[in-house]
Amino acid sequence: MLRLTLAQMRRSIGRLVAAGVAIVIGTAFVAATLIAGNVITQTTNDSIAAQYADADLVVSAPDYLTPDDVDALEGVEGVDAVEPVQLTYLDLQHGAKRVFQMAVPAPSDPRFEALEVVEGSLPSAAGQVALPEDVAERLGVAVGGTVTSSRNVWDAAAPDGGTYEEVRDRLTVVGTTDDPYGAYAQMGGAAVVAREDLVAWESAQATPDDPERTYSAAMVGLAPGTELETARAAIGAQAPADAKAVTPAEHAQEQARQLTGDRDVFTFVILGFAAVALLVAALVIANTFQVLVAQRTRTLALLRAVGADKRQLARSVLTEATILGVVSSVGGILLGGLLTQVALLVARGATWACRSRRRSP
């Protein structure tokens, strides 16, 4: 009976292919949408998690952590290293080139290193900076060269009762970095400066009315052999009541959920179009099979005459539809995956193109 079904399919291959194409397009659409959605979510997750490098836990509070909170974390048993998440903006100049660059402090522990050093090293003393490779190229500065950093300092002794004054520092470029996991990709990369510089600049900029320095989160590295859950509980007992200690992956997921709320709506809209495509495919299939059965009236009548019962014939048509559906759906999923891959490659190619454009003078 299966042989008969297959033989019938071979005879109607043209019509079946037409219906199959409709299914392939529909499923490819759905598959591509879902895969792309997943890739976007995953990429967002990964890049957020990448900021925390190999930290074991991320401690965050709904409003903020005070420096005292951070210091308290260091006293928790099993905690090996603590580093508050901190960033600032630099106004860097070299010759006629000027770049506004986000900057993070040099990590106090190798576990917190989110960037990879390409050349030279990360800053180990005040007055040093490590630049992202492309930023260094844009400024036309090499390792060993210097850049000028302009910043504002609050001068409380000024005659009119306090004002900002511009101060220029010379920073030595000690290294260039790469951001292989896209930790700071969404912020245009990150320069690295010595923590003492960053703290000094921030306090110099602060007016007496500014609130105390706070942190959104702190990274925690655990001593070897410390159980994650034990440390989590210990930190929970020590940190402010509303603070949470989560793994970087969990933290990233939560952040990504807040970020991608809109993207989910976007996915649903595309899936709406996909539903239309699938509905059209369903109509095409129904129509195809109506035509096929009508075309085969003679054959079906003959089969009835030589002893086929109605159920056998119905089963044959259903088998045919199932084979068509499965084969086309698998094809559609493969096509959808392929399209997504191509789209990702094209997107990556566009990024490269951007970079190389920036590199050219």
Query: Among the candidate windows 4-12, 156-164, 182-190, 206-214, which touches other proteins by CB under 8 A?
Result: 4-12
Residue with smaller CB distance to other proteins, 157 or 305: 305
Answer yes or no whether residue 14 interacts with other proteins by CB under 8 A. no
- To other proteins, the closest distance from the beta carbon of 23 in angstroms equals 24
Question: Site for other proteins (CB under 8 A): which residue of 89, 309, 322, 342?
Answer: 309
Residue with smaller CB distance to other proteins, 2 or 276: 2
| DSSP letters for 19-47 | HHHHHHHHHHHHHHHHHHHHHHHHHHHHH
Q: How many Cβ atoms from other residues are within 10 Å of residue 178's Cβ?
A: 14
Question: Site for other proteins (CB under 8 A): which residue of 304, 348, 355, 359?
Answer: 304
Task: Give the total residue count for the chain.
Answer: 361
Question: Site for other proteins (CB under 8 A): which residue of 3, 170, 241, 262?
Answer: 3
- To other proteins, the closest distance from the beta carbon of 13 in angstroms equals 11
User: What does the per-residue mask of binding to other proteins show for 273-302, with x meaning CB under 8 A?
Assistant: -------------------------xx--x
- To other proteins, the closest distance from the beta carbon of 313 in angstroms equals 10
Query: Among the candidate windows 209-217, 260-268, 278-286, 309-317, which touches other proteins by CB under 8 A?
Result: 309-317
Number of residues engaging other proteins in binding (CB under 8 A): 19
d(CA 133, CA 177): 6
Question: Site for other proteins (CB under 8 A): which residue of 96, 237, 241, 305?
Answer: 305
Answer yes or no whether residue 17 interacts with other proteins by CB under 8 A. no
46 Cβ contact partners less than 8 Å away, ≥ 6 residues apart: 181, 182, 252
User: Residue 328 belongs to what H/E stretch?
Assistant: helix 310-359
Question: Site for other proteins (CB under 8 A): which residue of 203, 290, 312, 322?
Answer: 312
Q: How many Cβ atoms from other residues are within 10 Å of residue 220's Cβ?
A: 28
Question: Site for other proteins (CB under 8 A): which residue of 96, 306, 352, 357?
Answer: 306
Answer yes or no whether residue 241 interacts with other proteins by CB under 8 A. no
Question: Site for other proteins (CB under 8 A): which residue of 14, 208, 225, 307?
Answer: 307
Dihedral angle of Cα 227, 220, 38, 338, to the nearest 10 degrees: -90
d(CA 195, CA 106): 6
Residue with smaller CB distance to other proteins, 241 or 305: 305
CA 94 to chain centre: 32
Instruction: Give Cα separations from 39 to 158, 240, 263 (angstroms).
Output: 54, 36, 12
Answer yes or no whether residue 308 interacts with other proteins by CB under 8 A. yes
33-62: contacts with other proteins (CB under 8 A): none
d(CA 28, CA 274): 9
Burial 309-345 (b: 16+ CB within 10 A, else e): eeeebebbbebbbebbbeebbebbbebbeebbeeeee
Answer yes or no whether residue 317 interacts with other proteins by CB under 8 A. no
- To other proteins, the closest distance from the beta carbon of 311 in angstroms equals 9
Query: Among the candidate windows 1-9, 126-134, 269-277, 334-342, which touches other proteins by CB under 8 A?
Result: 1-9
Burial-class residue 53 by CB neighbours within 10 Å (0-12, 13-18, 19+).
buried
CA 201 to chain centre: 31
Q: And the tokens for 100?
A: 């506004």
Residue with smaller CB distance to other proteins, 159 or 307: 307
- Which spans of this chain sit near other proteins (rule: CB under 8 A)? 1, 3-4, 7-8, 10-11, 298-299, 302-310, 312
